[in-house]
Amino acid sequence: MSFLDYAPAPESRAILSLRPSYGLFVDGEFVDGNGPAFTTISPATEEGLTEIATADDADVDRAVAAARKAYDRVWSKLSGSDRGKYLFRIARLVQERARELAVAETLNNGKPIKESRDVDIPLVAAWFFYYAGWADKLDHAGLGPDPRPLGVAGQIIPWNFPLLMLAWKIAPALASGNTVVLKPAETTPLTALLFAEILQQADLPPGVVNIVTGPGATGQALVRHPDVDKIAFTGSTAVGREIARATAGTRKRLTLELGGKAANIVFDDAPIDQAIEGVVNGIFYNQGHVCCAGSRLLVQENVHDDVVERLKQRLTTLRLGDPLDKNTDIGAVNSAEQLERIRELTAAGEEEGATRWSPPCVLPDAGFWFAPTIFTGVQTSSRIAREEIFGPVLSILTFRTPQEAIAKANNTPYGLSAGIWSDKGSRVLAVADELRAGVVWTNTFNRFDPASPFGGYKESGYGREGGKQGLSAYLAPAGGIR
Ligand code: NAD
């Protein structure tokens, strides 16, 4: 029992009525898939939620053909302001159905309802509003006069922010005049299918967006399809590499948003309590299933003991449990497979000599759960300092000088994000300038805004999503393509 006790405050599931099964969304309709249907579950209870279709190569081909037809006949012929009207309509429908989408996301992903309700879904609407505003202003996107869409975009997304990653992909693609075939992750297809219903409500012309569910093989079919002009992928670095190989030498454009191992750097002059909140948000938000998570804490040596002590106190107040409970801070790990990976890497951390600590915490019997965990005494060479764990696990290292902090922060194959905590503005700017990371937050962490570009260096990928930079991934200068 934690020192604060709360009565249960579950969000009602009544707002969500799921069909017993969902087909693929192709050419504006739900259709059967050729592959075997599978049950999508709640990772918090392992309860089956509904049946999902699997798209095979022929289904992917059908979806690409629908997207091509919609591109040639309808979408590429509409004015920017007309495309914008559809995007505004989609944004408003997301807001209208926000509570239902939040419940579905939490059920299928395992993330706390307060996150899906207050962060994921509002950001989904914000992304569509933002790119709706761009649709008639593409001449001002910095790509020269009269930039052109690429054509059919194949988009593949992961399971950690299912609907938000869909919005990051679909909103800029449609705003810039492309049509889409999107594949959600196999463990979290639900909100993408509810989104397909929203597209029907919005009267989006058939074929402009198609959604094909299934495993990695469905994604592979999309990547290999000869009539796809662009692949946008968010997921692991290993799969990103495979996709880069498969598209090399073809005319397909490619953007990759991959993994990360971000450093969150706390200097001794930082407001420590504020930093602790940022560190907790940085690694325990969404169970640490965040590509830009602050999974390596670099603490200046003279404040290490104080920071660790306060961090432990704070972690004992986190509430782990039913993701639909409005007071829950830590929900379920998304899958048995991911739980296994977290267990394997944390065991390696202990074997390599780091000291492991978790607050007292009762894990539910059913479902996939992992207690928030910190490691102290971590060596830079340790696997838990180098590999992405993608779970609620923080590796703590120390440094003495800003130069050492920079060297350690950059000592990673990744380069997606970083955090700096310090009261001294000149130091913040000097350190930020040296960090090889796509996003650097100062005295805050995990802040997202559709106007702000996001993306990686090194093995974290290439290309930017968000802002007007996000449009350039879907546009070519006039005469540049097709
Ligand atoms: P994953 O790479 O296993 O899967 C991502 C998607 O790719 C899924 O839809 C999957 O079905 C599909 N896929 C798998 N094999 C494929 C193949 N050979 N060809 C085409 N598609 C294939 O990743 P995951 O486990 O779902 O997600 C976690 C990873 O995503 C982490 O590494 C995380 O850092 C990364 N991520 C990055 C960002 C970012 O913006 N940089 C955001 C969220 C997650």
Tens digit of each residue's pLDDT (9 = 90 or more) over 328-365: 999 999 999 999 999 999 999 999 999 999 999 999 99
Question: Is the pLDDT at 223 greater than 60, yes or no?
Answer: yes
Share of residues in the chain with pLDDT > 90 (%): 96
For 147-205, write each residue's pLDDT tens digit: 999 999 999 999 999 999 999 999 999 999 999 999 999 999 999 999 999 999 999 99
Q: Which of 59, 226, 84, 220 is nearest to 151 (CA)?
A: 226
- pTM score of the predicted model: 0.97
pLDDT score of 479: 60
For 389-425, write each residue's pLDDT tens digit: 999 999 999 999 999 999 999 999 999 999 999 999 9
Are 84 and 132 in contact by the 8 Å Cβ rule? The answer is: yes
pLDDT band at 258 (very low <50, low <70, confident <90, very high): very high
Share of residues in the chain with pLDDT > 70 (%): 98
What is the residue type of 345? L
Q: Which residue has a Cα nearest atom 35 of ligand 1?
A: 235
Whole-angstrom distance, CA of residue 126 vs CA of residue 180: 20
Whole-angstrom distance, CA of residue 72 vs CA of residue 394: 49
For 431-447, write each residue's pLDDT tens digit: 999 999 999 999 999 99
What is the average pLDDT value for the chain, to the nearest integer? Answer: 96
Ligand 1 mean position, distance from CA 423 (Å): 37
pLDDT score of 30: 98
Residue 240 CA: which ligand 1 atom is closest? 2
pLDDT band at 4 (very low <50, low <70, confident <90, very high): low
Whole-angstrom distance, CA of residue 263 vs CA of residue 298: 6
1 is written with which tokens?
Answer: 């029992």
The catalytically annotated residue of 257, 388, 459, 465 is 257
Task: Find the mean pLDDT for residues 2-15.
Answer: 85
Q: What is the three-class DSSP state of 454?
A: strand
pLDDT band at 141 (very low <50, low <70, confident <90, very high): confident
Question: Is the pLDDT at 463 greater than 50, yes or no?
Answer: yes
pLDDT band at 146 (very low <50, low <70, confident <90, very high): confident
Are 419 and 265 in contact by the 8 Å Cβ rule? The answer is: yes
Are 178 and 171 in contact by the 8 Å Cβ rule? The answer is: no
DSSP of 94-141: HHHTHHHHHHHHHHHH---HHHIIIIIHHHHHHHHHHHHHHTT-GGGS
What is the residue type of 364? P
Count Cβ atoms below 10 Å from residue 79 Cβ, excluding itself.
Answer: 11
pLDDT score of 1: 47
DSSP of 366-389: SS-----EEEES--TTSHHHHS--
Asked if 388 is an active-site residue, the reply is no
209 is written with which tokens?
Answer: 């967006």
| Ligand 1 first shell, C-beta below 6 A | 156-160, 183, 185-186, 215-216, 219-220, 223, 234-236, 239, 242-243, 257-260, 291, 388, 390, 416, 456, 461
The catalytically annotated residue of 291, 292, 388, 465 is 291
Ligand 1 mean position, distance from CA 424 (Å): 38
Whole-angstrom distance, CA of residue 478 vs CA of residue 461: 26
Task: Find the mean pLDDT for residues 66-94.
Answer: 98
Q: Which of 166, 138, 127 is nearest to 81 (CA)?
A: 138
Whole-angstrom distance, CA of residue 395 vs CA of residue 415: 17
Ligand 1 mean position, distance from CA 216 (Å): 9
Whole-angstrom distance, CA of residue 268 vs CA of residue 255: 38
Asked if 257 is an active-site residue, the reply is yes
Question: Is the pLDDT at 481 greater than 60, yes or no?
Answer: no
Q: Which residue has a Cα nearest atom 10 of ligand 1?
A: 216
Q: What is the three-class DSSP state of 420?
A: strand
